[in-house]
Amino acid sequence: MEAISQLLEGMGSTPDQVAETLRQARVRGLRDSPSFMNPVVRHHNRTLNIGGRLEVGAGGTVLRLQREGKVKEGPLPLPVQAFLDGFDHGLYPDLETAG
């Protein structure tokens, strides 16, 4: 979880910086998606060798890693939470992909 947390923290200190990180990485996603189609999850899956399943918890405040029958959970940084809230409300249409 440490590498995941470091990558999350490095995404930016504002929601717009998080969005720019995703743009630079050419990552897009679907609104309200908790797992593979979530843009933050997609970014992490492309950047790190996770070896498990990532998903954003209900409410968008935590990230869960399911691996080898165990679940680990860590908080999402506030800028990432705010980005996801804005993304889910359509504030970043350039980062959306068709289903």
* DSSP string across 22-91: HHHTT--B-TT--STTSHHHHHHHHHS---SEEEEPTTS-EEEEEETTEEEEEEPPHHHHHHHHHHHTTS
Parse the chain into domains and list their residue ranges. Answer: 2-90
If you ran DSSP here, which 8-state letter would residue 65 be given?
E
State pLDDT tens for residues 25-47.
999 999 999 999 999 999 999 99
18 falls in which pLDDT band (50, 70, 90)?
very high
Look up the pTM and report it: 0.93
Task: Give residue 50's pLDDT.
Answer: 86
